Structure 1
Amino acid sequence: MSEGDLLHVVTNDNISPARRMLGQGLIWGSAALLAGLGCAQMLQALGQHDFGFQNWRPTLYAYVLWSVCLCAGQVLIHGERGKRTLFVLPAALFVVSLTVFPLLFGLMIAFSNWNLSSPTGRVFNGTDNLVQMWHDPFYWNALGNMVWYLLAILVEYAIAFGLALLLAGQIRARKFFRVAFLLPLMLSPVAVSWMIGKSMLEPRFGPLARLARALGWENPAFFETAWMAKATIMILDAWTFIPFMMIMLLAGLQAIPKELQEASRVDGATGWKSFWEVTFPLMLPVSITAVMIRIIFKLKLADIVINITSGGPGGATDTVTSFIFREYRERSNVGYGTMLAMVYLVIIVILMTVLMKLADRWMRPRL
Structure 2
Amino acid sequence: MSTPEQLHIVTSDTISEGRKRAGKALIWGSATVLVAVALAQFGQTMGWWTIGFANWRPTLYAYCLWATAFCWAQVLIRGEQGKRVLFVLPAALFVISLTVFPLLFGLLIAFSNWNLSNPDGRQFNGLANVIQMWNDPFYWNALLNMVWYTLAIIIEYAIAFGLALILNSEIRARKFFRVAFLLPLMLSPVAVSWMIGKSMLEARFGPLARLGRWLGWDNPSFFGSPEVAKATIMIMDAWTFIPFMMIMLLAGLQAIPKELTEASRVDGATGWKSFWEIIFPLMLPVSITAILIRIIFKLKLADIVINVTSGGPGGATDTVTSFIFREYRDRSNVGYGTMLAMVYLVIIIVAMTFLMKSAARWTRPQN
Same-fold call, TM cutoff 0.5: yes
Post-superposition Cα deviations, 1:216-251, rounded to whole Å, max 9, x if no partner, equal 111100000000000000000000000000000000
TM-score relative to the length of structure 1: 0.97
Distance 1:168 1:239, change over 3 A: same
**Stretch moving more, 265-274 or 205-214:** 265-274
| Paired residues of 1:133 and 1:340 also in contact (CA < 8 A) | yes
**Stretch moving more, 18-27 or 220-229:** 18-27
Equivalents in 2 of 1:8, 1:289: separation in Å?
48
Post-superposition Cα deviations, 1:285-310, rounded to whole Å, max 9, x if no partner, equal 00000000000000000000000000
Paired position in structure 2 for 1:243: 243
Look up the SS of the partner of 2:116 in the other structure: coil
| Paired residues of 1:150 and 1:298 also in contact (CA < 8 A) | yes
> Post-superposition shift, 1:9?
7.6
Equivalents in 2 of 1:260, 1:99: separation in Å?
47
| Paired residues of 1:26 and 1:70 also in contact (CA < 8 A) | yes
Look up the SS of the partner of 2:14 in the other structure: coil
What code does the residue aligned with 1:331 have? R
Paired position in structure 2 for 1:126: 126
Look up the SS of the partner of 2:48 in the other structure: coil
Paired position in structure 2 for 1:103: 103
Look up the SS of the partner of 1:159 in the other structure: helix
Paired position in structure 1 for 2:77: 77
Paired position in structure 1 for 2:286: 286
What code does the residue aligned with 2:44 have? Q
Paired position in structure 2 for 1:59: 59
Equivalents in 2 of 1:203, 1:220: separation in Å?
6
Matches within 5 A, 1:272-311: 272-311=272-311
> Post-superposition shift, 1:16?
2.0
What is the root-mean-square deviation of aligned Cα atoms in Å? 1.6
Matches within 5 A, 1:26-175: 26-175=26-175
Equivalents in 2 of 1:55, 1:124: separation in Å?
17
1:181 aligns with 2:186: no
Look up the SS of the partner of 1:283 in the other structure: helix
Equivalents in 2 of 1:13, 1:94: separation in Å?
31
Post-superposition Cα deviations, 1:233-286, rounded to whole Å, max 9, x if no partner, equal 000000000000000000000010111111111221121000000000000000
Q: Which consecutive residues of structure 1, in runs of 5 or more, have no partner in the other structure? A: none
> Post-superposition shift, 1:8?
11
Equivalents in 1 of 2:331, 2:138: separation in Å?
14
What code does the residue aligned with 1:140 have? W
Q: Which consecutive residues of structure 2, in runs of 5 or more, have no partner in the other structure? A: none
Look up the SS of the partner of 2:104 in the other structure: helix
Look up the SS of the partner of 1:324 in the other structure: helix
Paired position in structure 2 for 1:269: 269
| Paired residues of 2:9 and 2:80 also in contact (CA < 8 A) | no
| Paired residues of 1:324 and 1:337 also in contact (CA < 8 A) | yes
What code does the residue aligned with 2:320 have? V
Look up the SS of the partner of 2:152 in the other structure: helix
- State the 4+ residue runs in structure 1 displaced beyond 2 angstroms: 6-13
> Post-superposition shift, 1:366?
5.2
> Post-superposition shift, 1:92?
1.0
Look up the SS of the partner of 2:223 in the other structure: coil
Post-superposition Cα deviations, 1:306-346, rounded to whole Å, max 9, x if no partner, equal 00000000000000000000000000000000000000000
Paired position in structure 2 for 1:213: 213
| Paired residues of 2:11 and 2:79 also in contact (CA < 8 A) | no
> Post-superposition shift, 1:127?
0.8
Distance 1:161 1:270, change over 3 A: same
| Paired residues of 1:160 and 1:243 also in contact (CA < 8 A) | yes
Distance 1:265 1:35, change over 3 A: same
Distance 1:366 1:161, change over 3 A: farther
1:257 aligns with 2:257: yes
Paired position in structure 1 for 2:320: 320
Count of paired positions: 364
TM-score relative to the length of structure 2: 0.97
Look up the SS of the partner of 2:220 in the other structure: coil
Distance 1:8 1:288, change over 3 A: farther
